[in-house]
Amino acid sequence: MTDPRIAALEVELSLLARHHLHSSQHSAERLLDRSGYHLLSRLELGPLNLKQLAEAFRLDPSTVNRQVNALLRAGLLEKVRDPGGAVARVLRPTAGGLDLLRRDRAILQEQVGRVLTDWDPGEIDELRRLLEKLNTSIEALEGRPWPRASHASSAAAG
């Protein structure tokens, strides 16, 4: 039998995913679609080739290729030589892509801020810590760590 704490947590995680997807997909202020936001966010941390990007998101390369091509056509991504010297070109956000990403990120952060307006700062810190612990536990199980920008620079930017 499942631990009732785990069952209750699964319900809350499902609701969190539902709330997040609903709010992020139905904001008239957002400039990027969901896939564009996630791809640009990952590439902001460092350039990747198409294969690496597909592996990072655990998606079929053809799916990622369609999403990447849309961002390339919009001028939000560019292909550049691999700084590591590999033959395959890597993808990186353009200045325009980073600008849209930062605008959307500010909108999302403002939305999260509205939800947490009555929370104590310590509660917000604790929630962030526990979510990071959950995410890194998932990443460890899957053997796929996700790079993160430092919390200091994230806090300074917001």
Q: How confident is the model at residue 158 (pLDDT cuts 50, 70, 90)?
A: very low
Name the helix (H) or strand (E) containing 92.
strand 90-93
What residue segments make up the domains of the chain, in order of their start? 28-109, 116-158
SS3 content of the chain, % helix, strand, coil (to 5): 65, 5, 30
Q: Name the CATH code of domain 28-109 (choices 3.40.50.300, 3.40.50.720, 3.30.365.10, 1.10.10.10).
A: 1.10.10.10
Mean confidence (pLDDT) of the chain: 88
Query: Is pLDDT larger for residue 21 or for residue 153?
Result: 21
What are phi and psi for residue 46, nearest 5 degrees?
155, 150
Q: Which residues pair with 90 in a beta bridge?
A: 80
What's the Cα-to-Cα distance from 107 to each of 24, 113, 116, 126, rounded to whole Å?
A: 9, 10, 14, 22
pTM, two decimal places: 0.82
**If DSSP codes are grouped into helix, strand and coil, which group holds residue 79?**
strand
93 DSSP 8-state letter: E
Per-residue pLDDT averaged across 13-18, rounded?
A: 88
pLDDT of residue 154: 45
